[in-house]
Chains A and B, each alone.
Chain A
């Protein structure tokens, strides 16, 4: 159940290691280069250039035409002093420990498809359009998708969505085309601070563990990993995060669970209900025979 090698489980032999993202939000500067690079590389159509007025976030959330989304959160919570005069030789972590805190901080985080180990979208897809790649990622085949929309409410993270005027479901492919050529995904390539790190998932998990310990030691007690554990409700994410607050602050579910884990129980109840219906119908006729005899 808690395999971290979904490609093998799918039936690939001699496949490359599972690839993924580690998005370290503690170094995200909110530049949205990932959003732009993703749109450009994948030729994702424009989907409205309105200003939301709620923050610097005018993308709002992941969807059919937004495969990377940078969240902006303004909080009255202390972090290290925000100082525009930083130099490259300044030890930011030491500052975090020593400098007096202010009571205001920015959180920025680039969200993306999680490429779950147990992917609900893939499980419920009735056409086989969604499939598991040899890299362990989850990709939609657009020439198969018939736009039934089942994957959309199945996703516990609100990632995949239906494209207006197109009807099919779209989401991040983890740049499947680039991976095949040995290149890293467009968003990771464009990220100027390495907030988005791409690589074999095992390596990323190690690196993330080291990073979160580093931050904790520096006094950033809010730092935590999200989606890295194979023990979680989706068997671990192929794209996981380092967050500085509770997941729901970033618009992420605090304890997501793949819906298909409950499917065996659902089928059992469906079976019992169907038998109940047969029993009810039999009783409906039996009662009339009984009534007539009287």
Chain B
């Protein structure tokens, strides 16, 4: 273990080293006053995620884009919007392929990625996700291939339906993936996170449709993007409100910056999608895709920050202990 930036130097005092170092200077100030807590030399209690950016936030983003695009593609095909169907299906397959590359790249032992399919465990969202992706990937691929080549339309339609059936699960399960950890800013948000994620995915998929489809076919993509953005933003707000002090990393640091950018991009994208036509519409589609990505990056970094500061582990647990003790004495 490395121990940088813990040298108190000649000012060191015994017995006071267990306090947390204060380093928040720039950026938004917390709305809640710093809670009193003790720690071991300010060291983190949990070991934070070793997952890397861009692999894992990229994976979260691309999985949402793919899953929701499969729904959009199936709907577009059913309603005879062939260009929208083509872009959504190829988008879904492209996104899921890239996301698989990111997943494997992030493994400590990429050569052993097939070990993911060694067992099936419902207690491991990553195991469930691996099986889900191994079913969804080929379906999305067949749907895209048929749409591009125009061959085997019946198989293409079946694959489109299959991908649309699994797509929502692909978009949503990643929420369980990150919340099923001891990372405070992720775990504590497990009630809202799936809605943030499917909203974000819908917004990105709608954005892709707005970016690439012709105007006469863009209406469902616009509607999906608006629905997704509204769900993403409102679920995130609800989560931050409920989390209290644990939500601080969503406002400060790297996570806060990404989420602020996501809000701005999302607002611009929604405005452009509603009002704009032509290139404004296409640009707003791109903004919505970027907003979805920024949301995932923001949540990713907020989680990492909440793991690195023992405050977010100790204070809520200490409050839980105190509440339990008070509860038992009052009985």
Contacts and interface: CB of A to CB of B under 8 A. Distances in A.
- A and B form one complex: yes
Interface of A: 47-48, 50-55, 57-63, 65-66, 71, 73-77, 104, 120, 123-129, 144-150, 152-162, 166-169, 246, 248-256, 259-260, 262-263, 265-267, 269-278, 280-285, 287-289, 291
A123 B107 contact: no
Contacts of B307: 153
Contacts of A168: 108-109
22 contacts: A53-B3, A54-B7, A54-B17, A62-B47, A73-B40, A124-B181, A127-B112, A147-B108, A154-B180, A158-B45, A168-B109, A246-B38, A249-B38, A250-B40, A253-B46, A259-B180, A262-B179, A267-B176, A276-B231, A280-B202, A284-B220, A285-B223
Contacts of A145: 108-109, 112, 115
A77 B2 CA distance: 29
Contacts of A166: 108
Contacts of B49: 149, 152-153
B195 A273 contact: yes
Given A54-B6, A255-B321, A259-B181, A74 B15 contact: yes
B156 to A, nearest CB: 19
Contacts of A76: 14-15
Contacts of B113: 146
Given A145-B109, A147-B108, A277-B68, A156 B50 contact: no
B124 A150 contact: yes
A124 B47 CA distance: 15
B314 A253 contact: yes
Contacts of B82: none
Contacts, number: 296
A63 B121 contact: no
Nearest to A159: B47
A253 B313 contact: yes
A61 B186 CA distance: 23
A284 B121 contact: no
7 shortest interchain CB distances as A-B pairs: A147-B108, A167-B108, A251-B40, A52-B3, A273-B194, A146-B112, A284-B223
B139 interface: no
Contacts of A282: 75
Contacts of B173: 270
Contacts of A128: 118-119, 121
A182 B39 CA distance: 38
Interface residues of B, number: 93
Contact of B227 (A60, A157, A280): A280
Nearest to B316: A255
Contact of A152 (B14, B47, B220, B224): B47
Contacts of A288: 79, 219-220, 223
A125 B124 CA distance: 6
Nearest to B70: A281
A143 B38 CA distance: 39
Nearest to A291: B219
Given A145-B108, A145-B109, 14 more contacts: A50-B2, A63-B1, A66-B1, A75-B15, A149-B49, A152-B49, A153-B49, A154-B182, A273-B197, A277-B68, A281-B224, A284-B224, A285-B75, A288-B220
B41 A54 contact: yes
A106 to B, nearest CB: 10
Contacts of A266: 125, 175-176, 179-180, 190, 194
B100 to A, nearest CB: 13
A287 B115 contact: no
B50 A60 contact: no
A77 B18 CA distance: 13
